Chain A
Amino acid sequence: MAKDDNGAEHVTAADSPGAQLATSAASTAVVTRDALVNPGFPPHRPRITDLDHKEERKAERTVYTLFYVSIVGSVFAIAAYMAFPIVAEDPGSVRLNNLFIGLGLSLALLAIGIGAVHWGKALMSDHEGVDERHPVRGTEPVRARAVEIFQQANEESGFGRRTLIRNSLIGALVVFPLPAVVLFRGLGPMDQDPVALLEETMWKKGVRLTIDPSGTPIKAADVTLGSSFHVIPEGLSEMGHGRLEEKAKAAVLLIRMDPKDLIEEEDRKSWSYDGIVAYSKICTHVGCPVALYEQHTHHLLCPCHQSQFDVENHCKVIFGPAKRALPQLPIAVDAEGYLIAQSDFTEPVGPSFWERA
């Protein structure tokens, strides 16, 4: 853009006398010398309200009637506020309250609006006005004076001359906001290592699998073939502080399949129990709960971005933007027949992050 030579001197508009000069200088706009001439404004056409006194009276009546109707609407809204109170535990009363206050207000607003516009269109003068435009840039004397002022300020302050003062000032101004940036460090916790936190969950050896949200432990025998359970670790439902943070990592989906349908890798054969498998419910894409289980295909679907995971094959991704399989929770059964975790997940759950390898 720097070496532009396209007639920058001529900031004239296309159909001004100067335009032909501008184009001859090299701009790409072609000004046809043979162009048709602007015919000027078409003759003004009077409205019916200008010609017919009766119509004018009618428009006048319409406008003030609308304004009165607006008052009726406002009063109606106030009356509706009182006439349609909200009754506890009755959603129907909320609906009526919403509807009638709203209708009153709509009427009040629309009547003002339509009335005012109708007044403007039908009764106010409809003769168009014309304003002249001037180039947006200042006139030459004004620009010259502006330059002069800057020069004078420069002279008087020595801004250009006293470079040490100027540069040190610029330096100071650049550095002074930095403390503010540092202050925002306080937004995050000072005493936590994000990576360590993201790599561990509440699951550990011996923690029972319990039903979300009641926290009832699950017996392996109660998990019928083809059924699925939303699972949280034992103790999570009683947690006060940090419950949602733990749940956002520890939520698990438990599914019992026919062991014949399971394709298990050798080293993970011991992670399931009699066809019962447990997988993290947190999507490896951006962390939505993968909550939709299609029983006859054994596919899990994340409703947020449609990633699909194959439960038969270690929850590997078969479609959608996710890359990694859902982490599997190794499970076993304790002496009383309840399902327990063998350990924590063997990899971080949920969305990928930079430090994850």
Chain B
Amino acid sequence: MTTITTRESAEDQGVGVKKSGGFTASAANYIDERTSISGAVKELGRKIFPDHWSFLLGEVALYSFVIILLSGSFLTFFFQASMAEVVYDGSFAPLKGIPMSAAMSSTMDISFDIRGGLLMRQVHHWAALLFVAAIGLHMLRIYFTGAFRKPRELNWVIGFILFILAMAEGFTGYSLPDDLLSGNGLRIIDGLIKGIPVVGTWFSFLLFGGEFPGTDIVGRLYSLHILLLPAIIVALIAMHLLFVVVHKHTQYPAAGHTNQNVVGYPVMPVYAAKAGGFFFIVFGVVMLIASLFTINPIWNYGPYDPSPVSAGTQPDWYIGFADGAMRLIPTGWEFVWLNHTYSLNILVVLIVVGLFIVTVMIYPFIEAWITGDKREHHVLDRPRNAPTRTAIGAAGVTFYASLWAAASSDIMATHFHLTMEGVIHTLQATTLLGPFLAFFIAKRVCLALQKKDREIVLHGYESGRIVRLPGGEFVEVHQPVDEYERWKLVSYSDFKPLMLRPNAQGKIGVAEKVRAGLSRWFFEDRITPVTQTELNRAHGDHPAEITDK
């Protein structure tokens, strides 16, 4: 007996938990003695996270995913993923007595017979739209600030896969109610798959369990939608966040921020309060939208039937770019050769869209190769300070936006009283030429902004005050920026194009030549940051009396 008592008290002293007698203290002690959680609290509890509105985009994505899980779990209790034909007998009078699949019928019941069911459906759908949108914006933020650079390239790839999976989740979910729109979406997928050479026909039969539409597809998509895809997404999100902890978050250039530190608020308590609170704000906003605005009114569309279709149908926004790409293909891109059909009108779309997204995925590696930059980067670039990257991004966004707009070509034509053909031809032009134009404009704008920054650093900003000098001359007073503000404008790296160097054998390889060429293209136009000498000289130019000190 005595030995046990001593050991217990020794243990208590060992972990340093004082017996204050409070419930919290003893509960914490209980848990720590079984989990050593105090170590995790020590490591993570005061971890610093920098603050910036653009860092919230990733949080919105994470939180909408949680909302999707919560609302989706509710829906699974009522939804029947079956294409068995039933006759609808629910509360929505216009569809009463109409044969439809159990999937459609149970979705109708969720909407019209279960209190709060419609609300949860709409929360689920709105949160899904927000999920993909937030990921997209988060990716743009990462891209334009150069946050994908070493050591975060792999996390970019993980995030990219999450983006693709989010779209897959969206599409599989969209297809589940088996209404007219979702069926037409699947019909398009079926047509796309059949257009793939050699395996397309068989693959379509495997997917649909026979001829389209069959009676299997909803059940199969359901497995993907609620089990396989979410499991992969959860695992990848865990990895994504783990990497954020390992790398520590990036920060914007600012006074006191260096590549060796991270400045911000500790997880406990400030970050927990702000980020935790932000979850509720995102949830609240989604809830508010879901209570005020209808989304996907399947009761207006009716059950799937291969024959009817309504004009002006639109896919969910994130599928738009792929759908739009299909519309932009000119007439006649299909041929028969050696008794087989080559559907270029489908293949070209698959290849071009595929290449585009693969380029997005591997961009960090391409840029690293071109720039030869092997350093770790924890301070973000202001987009203007990486003009070529920003211009490439602008070109990519223009390309994507053109495809995306094409998905609504008919709506644009009817809405603005344009011809269908005119809209398509215009968008074909913007898809092909727009990226080049966007590249040029974005690059010039970046360089102009950099020049403006230089001017502000060297000569201050225009104060709008006109002063008359003793000699009768009028000048505008330029207000100098303080050293903290100035640091934001000058703290970026300058680069020079890569030099062609022979390798150990004294040869210059083709790859090296390409690389040097790309490096020149990447860095030839650049504005160097202001140096101390330049600043001193500039200050000499301004007599003290007109800098308004």
Contact = CB atoms under 8 A, between A and B. Distances in A.
B33 interface: no
A287 interface: yes
Given A128-B265, A248-B213, A354-B200, A39 B484 contact: yes
Interface string B55-82: 0000000000000000000000000000
A354 B111 contact: no
Contacts of A156: none
Contacts of B483: 39
B535 interface: yes
A5 B501 contact: yes
A22 B262 CA distance: 23
Contacts of B112: 86, 91, 94
Given A26-B499, A322-B331, A110 B262 contact: no
Contacts of B329: 321
Contact of A133 (B115, B260, B308, B529): B260
A51 B340 CA distance: 80
A86 B115 contact: yes
A29 B373 contact: yes
A138 B76 CA distance: 45
B274 A120 contact: yes
Nearest to A43: B484
Interface in B96-125: 111-116, 118-119, 122
Contacts of A32: 494, 528-529, 531
B437 interface: no
Contacts of B491: 36, 38
Interface in A147-175: none
Given A11-B375, A27-B372, A102-B287, A244 B190 contact: no
A40 interface: yes
Contacts of B308: 230, 289, 291
A195 B204 CA distance: 11
A120 B269 CA distance: 8
Interface residues of B, number: 148
A247 B187 CA distance: 13
Contact of A287 (B187, B285, B287, B305): B187
Contacts of A86: 91, 112-115
Contacts of B305: 213, 244, 247
A139 interface: no
Contacts of B409: 306
A151 to B, nearest CB: 26
A141 interface: no
Nearest to B203: A188
Contact of A244 (B196, B281, B304, B334): B304
B493 A30 contact: yes
Contacts of A202: none
B548 interface: no
B515 to A, nearest CB: 9
Given A195-B201, A303-B311, A102 B291 contact: yes
A304 B189 CA distance: 12
B190 A287 contact: yes
A119 B273 contact: yes
Interface in B31-47: 46-47
B430 interface: no
Interface in B357-387: 369, 371-379
A121 B272 CA distance: 11
A129 B46 contact: yes
A107 B374 CA distance: 49
A248 B187 CA distance: 9
Interface stretch (A12-20, A53-61, A330-338): A12-20
B212 A319 contact: no
B532 A36 contact: yes
Best-buried of A15, A36, A198 by chain B (most CB within 10 Å):
A36
A91 B204 CA distance: 39
Contacts of B484: 39, 42
B285 A110 contact: yes
Interface string A65-106: 000000000000000010011111111001001111111011
Contacts of A115: 277
B410 interface: yes
A170 to B, nearest CB: 25
A177 interface: no
A108 B291 CA distance: 13
A85 B491 CA distance: 62
A232 to B, nearest CB: 7
Contacts of A314: none
Contact of A102 (B119, B216, B339): B119
A225 interface: no
B207 interface: yes
A189 B471 CA distance: 96
Interface stretch (B6-14, B228-236, B341-349, B447-455): B341-349
A28 B496 CA distance: 5
Contacts of A105: 119, 284, 287, 291
B113 to A, nearest CB: 6
B270 A120 contact: yes
Nearest to B344: A323
Interface of A: 1, 3-8, 10-16, 19, 22, 26-32, 34-42, 81, 84-91, 94, 97-103, 105-121, 124-126, 128-133, 135-136, 184-185, 187-189, 192, 194-195, 197-198, 212-213, 230, 232, 240, 244-245, 247-249, 251, 281-283, 285-289, 291-292, 301, 303-308, 317-324, 350-357
| CB-CB nearest 7 A-B residue pairs | A102-B291, A286-B191, A116-B277, A113-B280, A120-B273, A110-B284, A109-B284
25 contacts: A3-B512, A26-B372, A32-B531, A39-B483, A39-B486, A81-B115, A98-B116, A107-B284, A112-B280, A113-B278, A113-B280, A114-B277, A115-B277, A128-B48, A136-B376, A188-B206, A198-B201, A230-B308, A245-B213, A286-B187, A291-B308, A303-B410, A305-B327, A318-B331, A355-B201
Given A36-B532, A117-B277, 13 more contacts: A5-B503, A36-B491, A84-B115, A98-B122, A98-B290, A110-B284, A113-B284, A120-B273, A129-B265, A136-B246, A136-B376, A244-B305, A288-B187
